[in-house]
Amino acid sequence: MTDSDQPQGYRRVLLKISGEGFSSGGATGVNVADVAKLAGQLAEIATSGTQLAVVVGGGNIIRGARFSAGTEMIQEATAHYMGMLGTVINGLALQDALENIGCETRLMTAIRMDGFAEPFIRRRCTRHLEHGRVVILACGTGNPFVTTDTAAALRACEIGADIVLKATRVDGVYSDDPEKNPHAVLYERLSYKEVISDKLAVMDVTAIGLCMENNIPIVVFNYLKEGNIARAVAGERVGTLVGD
């Protein structure tokens, strides 16, 4: 991948934000200040004309895969559904935070919750984006045993996103865990095949495969640094770019 391959701004973006974005520092629940800070960054992007869809995680509420571990009382599939409900809680918080600062939104879920959210329908979602609304996507794919990373890749393919932005609390993809190994190397660029073959902790293999098959690049970056989301959307060099 050469410098000329780096796009200078994206028309339609799929942002994946984990539950950590709603409660920093490893805390549980929803932190109003964290959500307000996130909403401010997203509103800046939306008002610039970029079409923005956001897939939210729910780890700050409950991590389904871990919740059922070591117990026979709650089945793993049930725990995954509980995790999906956690993403809805985060989605509602983000929706109100965005609309509180004048940003029009729609919350769409993979499991029907007609009282307060729209069901995810691809054409309806793209129409919302075309009208400048931030679309918040919750419940993952609606299926247990599927990560929200895979949901982000799948939705990006469905809505024709130009890129997947994975917001993390580290500066990009490293050769090792930078929080444990101070000598870990930060990669500037990687191919999809390198990520898979080297088992790098970017997204799960299914998510990487979907993006590779549909030629959707991925940028992994630190959203905690002020302005990084906007810089990533603008195509500036931030984090690690994964592509062909």
CATH code of residue 32: 3.40.1160.10
pTM to 2 decimals?
0.92
227 annotated as belonging to a binding site for a ligand: no
187 annotated as belonging to a binding site for a ligand: no
Per-residue pLDDT of 9-30, as tens digits, reads 899 999 999 999 999 877 889 9
10 Å Cβ neighbour count for 81? 16
142 annotated as belonging to a binding site for a ligand: yes
145 annotated as belonging to a binding site for a ligand: yes
109 pLDDT above the threshold of 80? yes
Q: What is the pLDDT of residue 1?
A: 41
2 pLDDT above the threshold of 80? no
89 annotated as belonging to a binding site for a ligand: no
126 annotated as belonging to a binding site for a ligand: no
120 annotated as belonging to a binding site for a ligand: no
Banded model confidence at residue 190, pLDDT cuts 50, 70, 90: very high
177 annotated as belonging to a binding site for a ligand: yes
d(CA 13, CA 97): 20
Enclosing domain of residue 199: 3-243
pLDDT, mean over the chain: 92
8 pLDDT above the threshold of 50? yes
116 annotated as belonging to a binding site for a ligand: no
4 annotated as belonging to a binding site for a ligand: no
Q: What is the pLDDT of residue 6?
A: 43
Banded model confidence at residue 70, pLDDT cuts 50, 70, 90: low
Q: What is the pLDDT of residue 176?
A: 87
Beta bridge partners of 106: 135
Per the structure, how many domains does the chain have? 1
223 annotated as belonging to a binding site for a ligand: no
94 pLDDT above the threshold of 70? yes
The CA–CA distances, whole Å, from 90 to 35, 125, 203, 204 equal 9, 19, 21, 22
Q: What is the pLDDT of residue 244?
A: 87
243 annotated as belonging to a binding site for a ligand: no
